Amino acid sequence: MPSPPGRDTSMTTILIVDDEPQMLELITDCLQLLPVDIQTEQDSATARKKLQTETFDLVILDVMMPSPDGWELLKETAELPAPPSIIMLTALGDNDQIVRGLQNGADDYVTKPFEPAILAARVEAVLRRKHPHTGSVISYNGLSVDSVRREAEFEGSCLTLTKKEFDLVALLVKRPGQVFTRQQLLDEIDDHGSAASDRTVDTHMKNIREKVRRAGGSSSLIETVWGIGYRLGAGI
């Protein structure tokens, strides 16, 4: 199944399907700190077409929707050549729906109302079961870090980083687009010696950029935000 142009295909993708706009917004907010690409669909018929033409790692699916309802989408999605994991959204205490969902291919369920932290934890758990390294490997625009193995690469080419360089890259990849001050970056690498300064961060970033460039990437992937610090950008 082809992915739409412009999407970072190395990133974990989640589709949220619910006919209530407020619920879509709530779930999106709950997952905003996870390193995932989120799409939402309020119309279940549109969601059906999207599931047939795009690839997702996880679908969060409401049961009670106009045709096709959650049960129809669950059945159809489970029969796809590369089916995503599925978390069903059910009403509190509706045990029959929970059992039905699990018996028909759902990986987990979440009852409404729910605690944001619990939803995020269930999503992470399902993704770990589907992809054992999902919890440790984070990718953005070709740059990947494995926090367990402490390995980094750009589009398959290994980056030989020092401990501090790896810690900086890992922080940037976890929060693409977020601007970090030089002091925040110094705190991340726990570099508070007398020689530590803005120049220390600049030197680390220069080295990282050169290693990314040698691996075939753009040195502009890590952007300088003048007067403030750095962020992970589009690398254009």
Residue bearing the bigger pLDDT, 195 or 234: 234
Residue bearing the bigger pLDDT, 193 or 46: 46
CATH 1.10.10.10 in the chain is located at 137-232
Alpha helices by DSSP H, listed for the chain, are 21-30, 44-53, 70-78, 95-103, 116-130, 163-174, 182-188, 198-214
Is-contact 225 231, C-beta < 8 A?
yes
pLDDT of residue 134: 47
pLDDT(4) > 60 = no
Q: How confident is the model at residue 7 (pLDDT cuts 50, 70, 90)?
A: very low
pLDDT tens digit string along 84-137?
999 988 876 667 777 777 777 888 888 888 888 888 888 888 887 766 544 567
CATH 3.40.50.2300 in the chain is located at 12-130
CATH topology of domain 137-232: Arc Repressor Mutant, subunit A (1.10.10)
Is-contact 90 101, C-beta < 8 A?
yes
- What is the pTM for the complete model shown? 0.55
- Alpha carbon distance 23, 17 (integer Å): 9
Average pLDDT, the chain: 83
Q: Are strands 143-146 and 157-159 parallel, antiparallel or unpaired?
A: unpaired
DSSP per-residue string spanning 67-84 = SS-HHHHHHHHHTSSSPP
- Positive/negative CA dihedral, 31, 122, 41, 56: positive
Q: Are strands 143-146 and 137-140 parallel, antiparallel or unpaired?
A: antiparallel
pLDDT of residue 136: 65
CATH number for the domain formed by residue range(s) 12-130: 3.40.50.2300
- Alpha carbon distance 68, 176 (integer Å): 36
The mean per-residue pLDDT over the stretch 137-162 comes to 85
Residues 6+ apart with CB under 8 A from 52: 1, 80
- Alpha carbon distance 135, 208 (integer Å): 24
The mean per-residue pLDDT over the stretch 2-30 comes to 76
> Two tokens at 115?
């605690």
What is the number of other CB atoms lying within 10 angstroms of the CB of residue 114?
15
